[in-house]
A = this chain, B = another copy of it.
C-alpha cells in the first residue's frame, strides 16, 4: 500500500513537528511510528539512524528557506513582505504546535549532536542570518525600515528575539510571542 514513498514524507512531517516541540533528544522513533501506525523498524528502513533523520530535516529546512528567499537574495526587492513573511511564519508555526525554532531545538542538544548534523545546523543558521541581514539592509536603503545599529547585528538580534520568544511563549502562552513581534515592529519602524 501507499504511494511511492508516502510513509517517508509522513515520517519527515511528524519528525519535524516533534523536533521543534521537544528537541532532538526529546522524541523517539516510537513516537513517530505509533503516530503513523507502523512499526519502529519501518522508520529505520527509511532513516537507518536518527542522525540520518536529523540531517534530512535540516536539509529540508534549508531548502525551504532557500526556495522562499532566492528571488529576494538574487534581485533584492521590497523588504517589508519578507519581514512580514517571517512574522507570519513564526506565529503560524507556533500555533500549529511546532513550538521552538529549529536552531533552538538543535542548540539544546548541540554537544551530543552528531558532527554532520552540527555542521548542517551551522550552515542553516548562517543562511538565515545572511538572509535577514540582506532584508534589513534593503529595507534601510529604501527607507522601509528605520532602526538603530548595523543590519547584521540587528539581524542577529531579531532572530535571537524570535527564538527566545517562542520558548518563553511555551511557558506563558502565545501572547508573549505576539508582544515580542509587536516590539520588533516598533523597533524597525514597521507600522502594521
**Which chain B residues lie closer than 8 Å to A108 at the CB level?**
22-23, 26, 100, 104-105, 108, 167
Alpha-carbon gap, A154 to B160, bound state (A): 14
A178 to chain B: closest CB distance in Å? 10
Residue A180, interface by CB 8 Å: yes
Query: Is the CB–CB distance between A171 and B26 below 8 Å?
Result: no
Choose among B107, B112, B179 the residue that contacts A167 (Cβ–Cβ < 8 A). Answer: B107
Question: What copy number does this chain have within its complex?
Answer: 2
A184 B157 Cβ-Cβ under 8 A: yes
Is B171 in contact with A183, judged by CB distance below 8 angstroms? Answer: no
**Could you tell me if A182 and B153 are in contact, using CB atoms closer than 8 angstroms?**
yes
**In the complex, which residues of chain B have a beta carbon less than 8 angstroms from the beta carbon of A100?**
107-108
Residue of A157, A162, A170, A179 with highest tally of chain B CB at under 10 A: A157
Q: List 6 A-B contacts (CB under 8 A).
A: A25-B25, A104-B104, A126-B172, A156-B165, A156-B183, A161-B161
